[in-house]
Structures are given as C-alpha cells and as structure tokens.
Structure 1
Amino acid sequence: MSKSLQAIRGMNDILPEQTPVWRYFEGTVSRLLDNYGYKQIRMPIVEFTELFKRSIGEVTDIVEKEMYTFEDRNGDSLTLRPEGTAACVRAVLEHGITGGGQVQKLWYIGPMFRHERPQKGRYRQFHQIGLEVFNLDGPDIDAELIVLTWRLWGELGIRDAVKLELNSLGTSESRGRYREALVEYLSAHHDKLDEDSQRRLKTNPLRVLDTKNADTQAVLVDAPKMADYLDDESRAHFEGLKARLDAVGIPYVLNPKLVRGLDYYSKTVFEWVTDKLGAQGTVCAGGRYDGLVEQMGGKPTPGVGFAMGIERLVLLLETLEQIPEEISRQVDVYLCAFGEEAELAGLALAERVRDQLPNLRLQVNAGAGSFKSQFKKADKSGALYALILGDDEMAQQVVGFKPLRGQGEQQSIAWDALAAHLATCVVQG
C-alpha cells in the first residue's frame, strides 16, 4: 500500500477554524501600520544563497545548520528565505528606493523557512510580520518601533503578558573591542563551557552570552559587560532611546546578554518576551543594523527593524483567551430557501441585501435540503439569524426572520424592509 500523503514535518496547514484568528491578528497589525505611515513591500520567498551568507553571517547557526538551500536547473544556489531583513535590503538596493537619503518605512508579511527541530511555537515553515526603516539614524525611530508594538499589545489585550528587554551592541568598532575582551575571558574558562559555547567561542563568541546552559551561565556572571565598551555615540543613542520610552511610560529591562542571533545588528537590540509559552518566549525582536546596506554593496544607509512571529502571537492570544467572540463567527445571517422558486427569489434578495449592507456576512444555503437539514446547517454555520423563504413567504413577499442564538420569536419581514432590519439586529446582536 502506498504511503499516505502528508505535510512535511514542521510545515503545517492552517485550517479553516484557525484562520479567523490569523486574519484578526494580521488585520489588527496592518491597520496599525497604516496609521503609523508604513508601506507594505512584498519580496520573493527564494533568494540567491549568497545574499544570506553576506548578510546574516556564514558562521551563524542559521547559515551553517538551518537554511533550506538547493541548486536550480541553471546550477545557481538558491535558498528559501530564513528571515526577511536581508531580502528587504536587497529589494531596496535593487530598485534604488533608498538612494539620495530617501526615508523608507516598510513592512512585509509571509513565510520564512529554517530546518529546526519542530516543537510548539517553533516550526520549519513559520510566518512573520517585519518592519524595516532606512535612512533614519536617531533613537527616535528606534523608539517608534517599540512604541507601536506596545500599542499593538494593548489593542490585542496582551500587554500584561509581555516584557521588553533592551541592550546596545555599540558600533562595529566598540563591539570588536568587547569581542576581544570576551574571548580572552572565556578562553581562560574554556573547560567550564558547554560544547556548543566552545564552538561559538571560535566562530561567533557573542552568541555565548545567549546560552541556556547553566554551567556556562555561571561562568558569564563575571564576564566583561558590553556597556563598559560602548563608544560615546552609542551610549548617547541608547540613553536617547531610554528617555523616549520613559516619556511614553513603557517599562523595560536592561539585558546585557541580549545579542540577537544575526551578525548585522549594531547599537539598539530589543526583544519582547513572554513566560506564557514555555521555552519559546520571544514573540517580537529586532534592532539597528546601520552597516548592513553598505555590507551588501550599497552606500552607507542607517537601518532599523524588527520581526514578530505570527504563530507564537496567535498561540499567546489563544492561551490568554484574548480572541474577540465575534472572530470565531464567520456568518451573521443564513438564508434557507425551500423549492426552486424560493431559491431564485432568495438568491436575488440576498444580492440586494449585500448591495445595501456590504459588510454583512450572509450565507445562502446551497444544495437544497429539507427544512430540518437546512436549519441544521444554519445552526452549524454559527449565524445569529436564519432567514426563511418558503411557499407562504413567497405568496406574501416576506421573509421569515428567526433568531438562532438567543431569545425572540420568529417574525415576518417585508423584502423591501429586510436590509434595514438586518442592519439594526446584526449590530445589536
């Protein structure tokens, strides 16, 4: 017997009963970004592999272990994008939209791909919403990114469940000095480091700070601190960011071990974390990458951005039961028609109602059926009300109007008055 077809491990279907929450979250974010003046950009999910090697860093875990890379028929090495910033930088460079100091405030949404061990909140195909801002170098735009996420958490009802962690990595020069001091310190305690940290010590020593190993964490207690190596410019930038967050009243925690997993970050780095999802606690993260555009062949261009994981935030909404009740209801009104003449009249009536109430979610029964079967489908749809068209209603040019979710008797509504009645009832319902 042939093996049954199924999705690739870690790449999941999002089923119809799940998509309303996704649409609610995505719609809330897109409206907020419109209000803050961000414009959407859409990039391919496949890029040349070299793009990610140059931007993310060849010795990062993502490039070394996690990318989906393959050769196409032309022999080119291609990769499913593991993150969005590099692709966005490539796009703005290719199309010249940041030239001449043009400020660009962009956002994107879509799937990313990393070959990780799948677990709850961490998948091989996952979805992100990302923001990238170019040609603004002050702490004011860093603050705006954090402020708008704070507003988003408020609109979603999850502010009490997330915490902001901040750090500054300084410029590449100050980070280089710190790197030397950290390597010297860790080398003196080499035998006490876990195997993964020993490897990172040679390739990407700042990532040792991000270890979850208890023994290595103990070694790091007395390690040099990045704050002691910051240059004056980075220190002033960080103080400016903190002052703006204080002015808005956004609480934060300084985390000197926060370094992020990508090589391109400089100065500001931040994460929004939660303790409601177990090990997968980061729901939004980002920072400044002033050298990345130049590193990828462009002119010196300040950049800052972040990405948020949709799966984890949807999971957080579900865990905290912060999903509006009406989100799960996809139908407001269900029209039942009995007999061909009633079906024809019902179709025409439904379209007239939709002309007058374009936001009404009106489903017309398909497939005919008995009175009992149609009402069963109406109830299963989650509709608030059922509309009924049978022989008696056709003769009087009325429609039966029956509440499905609460008190109230069935009544008859004239066809011409139906839209006005629905506008009142559905809003009130």
Structure 2
Amino acid sequence: MINSLLDNDFYKFTMQNAVVKLFPKAKARYQFINRGRHRFPEGFADELRKAVDGLAKLQLTRQEKAYFAATCPYIDPTYFDFLQGYRYDPEEVHIQQHGEELSVAIEGYWYRAILWEVPIMSLICEIYYQMAAQERQPDEKVIKTAREKIERYRDLGVTIAEFGTRRRHSYTVHRLVVQTLKQYGQDAFIGTSNVHMAMRYQTRPIGTHAHEWFMFHAAKYGFKMANLLGLEHWSDVYRGDLGIALSDTYTSDVFFTQFDKKLTKLFDGVRHDSGDPLIFADKAIQHYQQKGIDPLSKTIIFSDGLNYDKVKRIAEYCQGKIGMSFGIGTDFTNDVGLPPMNIVLKMTEAFPEEAQWTPVIKLSDEVGKHTGEGKTIALAKQILSIS
C-alpha cells in the first residue's frame, strides 16, 4: 500500500523542514475524525495497526534523496540528511476500535508526528475498501475516466494539480491516475502533491503549508498573531519560494485583515479551501487592488472539493480578473464507482516549547469544516470578532 517514505504530500515535508528549523522541541497531538460516519468492519483496527507498524521499515533511498534535493534547491541539504535518517515510530500512533467506531490518535514531537496524517488516511481508505469487499472499476475504466477529465480541463484552458493522496481509493488507482494525467495532460497538468508520484512520473511536487502550521502558531502566539507570524516565519525559512498562502484557518475575512502589504507583495498568491469560491475571489481581488497590486500578477489556488463543473464556473468568473490554478483530489483518485470516504485527521493540541498542551482549532469559511473544542472555537470567535 505504501512502499516509499515520499508517498506523502509535499507540504508535509516543507512544513517538517520549517518545524525542524524553528520549533524542534514542540509537540503535537492529532485525532481521526470520521465525517462520513463510515462503519468499520470487525478487525479493521488490527489490519490498520499492522499497516502502520509496517511503515517503520521505510527509509529515504539515495535515489529519492538525490531527486528531492535537485527538485527543491531552496531546502537546505541538512534537511535531506535528516530525512534520510528519519524513521516512522509506530508507538506514536494509538489505534482502537469499539464496534464499528474507529479511533486513531497521534502524539509526539511535532517534527516527527507531522508526517503521519496523510499515509494513515490513505491506509484507512485502502483497507476499508479491501475489507468491505467493494470492487472498483477495472484499470481500463480508471484510465479512461482520468484521461477524459484532464482533456476537458485542457480544453477549458486551465492548469490542474493532483491533490488526492489522503483519500485515494488505493495506491494502484493513484498511480494509474497520475500516469494518465502526465500522458494526456499537456499544458493542463502541472504536478501532484505526492512527492513519490512526482518522482515516478517526472512532474512537479506541488504544495506549501497546511492549516496545522497556523493552528500551532495560534497555540504559541495567540489567535490574533497566528496568520501574520505564520507567514512571517514561512518567509524566513523559504525566502520567497513556496509562496502560496493558505487563507482559511481562521476565516478568510480575518486572514485578509492580517495579510499586510509586505506579505501581500511577497507571496505569489493564496489558496482557497472552503466557502464560496466566487465570493473568495472577489475578496482576494479587492484586497490586491486596495494594496495597489494588479490581481493578474497573483494567483488563487482553488482546492475545495472540485470537479469539472465547479472548475468551469470558477474559471469563467475569474478569467481576466486574477490568476488561477486548481488542485483536485478525491475526484481524481477515488472516482472508481464507489462512494469516496469523508475522513480527516487533524491536529487537536499543540505543546509549544516552555508552555503547556493547548487545544487548537480551525475556523473555515464553511462551518461544517470547523474542527476543535466548542469552548475554544467560541473563545477564538470572540477574540477575532467573528460573528
């Protein structure tokens, strides 16, 4: 199922590098959230435990290290030496099952625990489909579907990245999809979030940072400083590279008030991950215009549950107003004739150096995507003046 340390999302490695540099003593806790209320068959936890334990055998190969270093010259060689010595520690992962309910919790130093989320989610999906004996469409159909999609996107004149590792049907389906996108997606397919797939099919690894980066900053510095210091620290590490800022950890309205002129000029654009994409586009365009910046010189990366109809609607609206690109996940890697899983695995607490365990939350532009304790969400809304 997972045979490479690089079978993970690019932004996990870029964040890990930044955590090693800036917060090496910080700790973190993560919790599995079963949004789709999926019922897990008897013995599922045991199978997941075996798969998680098996990840301890993975290590960065010399070929992978050389590829990663050559592809990302803005990351210091010391990180790749560190990654070559990194091993998953299954003792950081706690798995339980009560009837049809699954519990997965992760705890450890943040720089270590940060790599668990994506592979565990992909393992949960693949094992679920196997144990439920749900038969997917044949390979030929998977390839045909992916080809038809990327050709339609190419005809639409947009650029597309594949973001589907965490909720993929299986490694095999993921491989078939990226291979097809690469083969038939000339001028449209620009890369994948999965570093292993990027290496295998000689395309770009795509990504910057995730919500947990800003969630940790809130635990350490407070909600009002989380976006600002999160982006300042990111720019301190990457010096202008990896310049797409995630905008909805504490609502996009709060983000744009904290996205000052320096950061607005420095970052290449913003990523939309919740709420109405057209409303967000208007907010971004207005923000750049107010800062005296041509919106066409910046880019919005749209990545919220996209399919062709949504992309077409967004593209037609944004054309000639602001730069745009699209990251598509589940609709690529789990469109095989079965219901895709709706699961997440999120940071729930952070332990900054010389502090204490602190609950962390996410306040997306879509209420259904909020995560965290109710009282902490209420506190954050009060502090940030969110109604």
Instruction: Give TM-score, length-normalised by structure 2.
Output: 0.27
More helix by share: 2
More strand by share: 1
Q: Which has the larger radius of gyration?
A: 1
Higher relative contact order (CA 8 A, sep 6+): 2
